[in-house]
């Protein structure tokens, strides 16, 4: 394919969802304006203000944004990597950031096996319009899709090589996972996954990459790095409580069903950790079975279940999960359950149908609790069901082997 044809194909794949995103952006988050075009990308605004304060010698964790009063809560290396945001008009970065998010979304779809060309471009438009985590990540100007694209780029080849051999890479595999984990800690679960799946060099590279990027942040912003790892990473995030309906993590489920005590917190985190480890073990099994897209999607789901705070827009991992539901050879019941979870997350009924904020979650009746917590529960059922099937299969194979020896 000539360079001109490659460029034409790229435009066909990226331009339609990019235009759709630009048109939709002012309507996603409150107080946006369509004319003059002024989307309310409030998280991107946090990044911009934090980077400007950092360059002025101020503490990035004391930065707040006008009107919304939001704080920067990422590791300091994230601010270092976002330095270009300090230069140029804000509207310019809104457009560029949107293009980067759409490009990342299309890259994930392509690497998950979606047909290239107009099919990918039109599917990208549908994703922007209909998939709530992707749409709100665009609306907020968040980083979720970018981090997912880093992980996917490390684990799923862009084009299958002969006999399933991965194409030659320009950087060591695992580097991008470590970078994603340095920016936001939850992708570290993919390092555990790589180790369990037998990709130990990838896991080691991921750890080294994480330490290198984190170390760079510590060299440049030492006090802020200490503050993050001994404060913000321990739960002092200065955001909404885990009780909030928009928090679709397992800890949020425990808070809404019981209370917000320390005992409930520890129990919720322990259960979330067990589910994440179990899901990662199951994902490693399916990776070895050749279902790489499903395996990556399952680990992504587990990162959201395990994190103390997983807002609805963090669930961008339904993108590879949706492709896996349609294309993988996992059990039929698992495809139906995973498909139901994907549709539920896309609809985002917890925020669309329920009152929330100000502790209203404490007064939920049984039906409201079901709506608020069904998403994480479906995720746990998927992980538990796959784990149980794996145990049953192992027992059956063991019994068959014993019988054969007799």
Tell me the pTM: 0.94
- pLDDT of amino acid 233: 55
Q: What is the pLDDT of residue 314?
A: 97
Residues with Cβ within 8 Å of residue 114, at least 6 apart in sequence = 120, 123, 323
Question: What pLDDT is stored for residue 236 in this prediction?
Answer: 62
pLDDT score for 238:
72
275: Cβ contacts below 8 Å, ≥ 6 apart: 250, 302, 305, 306, 380, 383, 384
Residue 291 near residue 330, CB atoms below 8 Å: yes
For residue 406, what pLDDT is reported?
67
Profile the chain (406 residues) by mean pLDDT over runs of 10 residues: 89 97 97 95 97 97 93 95 97 98 98 95 97 98 98 86 58 97 97 97 98 97 93 67 95 96 95 97 97 98 97 97 94 97 96 92 96 98 97 83 71
CA distances from 33 to 28, 29, 123, 133, 248 (A): 10, 10, 26, 21, 29
pLDDT score recorded for residue 158: 78
Comparing CA positions, the residue from 48, 155, 52 lying closest to residue 107 is 155
pLDDT of residue 394: 84
**pLDDT recorded at residue 404:** 72
């Amino acid at each position: 394919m000539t360079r001109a044809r490659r460029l034409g194909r790229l435009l066909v794949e990226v331009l339609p969802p990019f235009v759709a995103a630009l048109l939709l952006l002012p309507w996603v988050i409150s107080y946006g304006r369509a004319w003059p075009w002024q989307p309310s990308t409030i998280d991107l605004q946090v990044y911009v203000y934090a980077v400007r304060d950092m360059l002025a010698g101020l503490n990035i964790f004391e930065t707040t944004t006008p009107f919304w009063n939001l704080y920067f809560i990422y590791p300091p290396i994230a601010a270092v990597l976002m330095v270009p945001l300090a230069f140029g008009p804000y509207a310019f970065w809104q457009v560029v950031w949107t293009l980067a998010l759409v490009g990342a979304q299309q890259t994930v779809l392509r690497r998950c096996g979606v047909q290239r060309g107009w099919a990918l471009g039109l599917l990208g438009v549908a994703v922007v319009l209909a998939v709530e985590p992707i749409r709100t990540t665009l609306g907020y100007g968040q980083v979720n899709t970018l981090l997912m694209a880093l992980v996917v780029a490390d684990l799923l080849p862009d084009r299958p090589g002969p006999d399933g051999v991965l194409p030659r890479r320009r950087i060591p595999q695992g580097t991008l996972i470590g970078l994603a984990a340095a920016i936001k800690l939850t992708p570290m679960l993919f390092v555990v996954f790589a180790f369990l799946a037998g990709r130990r060099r990838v896991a080691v590279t991921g750890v080294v990459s994480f330490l290198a990027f984190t170390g760079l942040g510590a060299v440049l912003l030492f006090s802020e790095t200490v503050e993050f790892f001994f404060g913000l990473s321990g739960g002092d995030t200065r955001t909404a409580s885990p009780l909030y309906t928009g928090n679709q993590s397992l800890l949020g489920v425990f808070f809404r069903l019981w209370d917000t005590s320390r005992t409930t917190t520890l129990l919720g985190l322990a259960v979330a950790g067990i589910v994440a480890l179990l899901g990662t073990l199951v994902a490693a099994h399916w990776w070895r079975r050749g279902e790489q897209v499903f395996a990556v999607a399952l680990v992504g789901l587990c990162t959201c279940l395990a994190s103390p705070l997983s807002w609805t827009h963090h669930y961008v991992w339904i993108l590879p999960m949706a492709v896996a539901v349609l294309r993988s050879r996992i059990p039929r019941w698992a495809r139906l359950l995973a498909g139901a979870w994907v549709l539920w997350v896309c609809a985002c009924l917890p925020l669309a149908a329920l009152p929330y904020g100000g502790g209203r979650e404490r007064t939920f009746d049984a039906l409201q609790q079901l709506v608020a917590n069904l998403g994480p529960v479906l995720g746990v059922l998927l992980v538990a069901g796959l784990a149980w099937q794996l145990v049953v299969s192992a027992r059956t194979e063991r019994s068959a082997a014993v019988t054969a020896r007799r």
